[in-house]
Amino acid sequence: MIRTKTTFCKKENMIRRFYIVIIFILTASTQSVMAKDSSQTLPQKYRSSHHAGIRLGVWSNKGESPPAISIDSTLLSNMKDNNFFFEGYYGYRLTASLMVEGSVGLVNRGSVTFKEFDTDKIGNVLLYSMLIQGKIYPLGSSSLRLQPYIMAGGGLYYGKRSVQFTSNYYYYNNVGEESDTDFRYTVGGGFDYPIASMLALDFSIKYMAIDFSDKLITISNYEGLAISVGLQYFWSGTKKTK
């Protein structure tokens, strides 16, 4: 038990160090690019722009975890507490301090094997998020390049246990799979940092309150915390700032 906790702590420390290094490299590597843009013109342009981009990061489990092996040995689970997270998003600027953002995210929780009637069904547990969030920029009216934000919203969470392989000679698509949906909220925050005339960095922390009504792989609580770094493209919107 002590060995398991020690390994888990080491993994968390490695992930933290990884993102510290990534943020440092991204910030340092953009200094020459930022010098080409006026420190006054770029923030002003960004405050009146829409944006779209992608985020990559770590999804950390804050909910339940299924047993590695069930009592009757019909379930073998290899679901991790920390997984790769991907998210694509589009933000529509309403004012310099307010934006509406739509996002689609994906996380693979790990592999699962089910044994039914002497047949092994091997697949993955996938979580999808389709969310709409309001983002408030407290310093949106300022001329600062660094723009912190807080966000809140909600939408659809979809969980699925897929089957990619089976030991049975005959297999029909979707047979033996299971899924569930949940409409719940999300809250978080982060900051944007424009680095060029049409590019900006994005750091985001987002809590996702996923709790399915039915159990998916013996558990229903799939709450998680997504920590990600993104790159966004922005263009002039219809709202003008002073």
On whether the CB atoms of residues 149 and 191 are closer than 8 A, the answer is yes
Q: Against a cut of 0.85, is the pTM above it? A: no
On whether the CB atoms of residues 155 and 131 are closer than 8 A, the answer is yes
pLDDT for residue 69 is more than 80: no
Render pLDDT for 114-168 as a digit per residue (tens, 0 to 9): 776 667 777 889 999 999 999 999 998 888 889 999 999 999 999 998 877 666 6
pLDDT computed for residue 212 by the predictor = 92
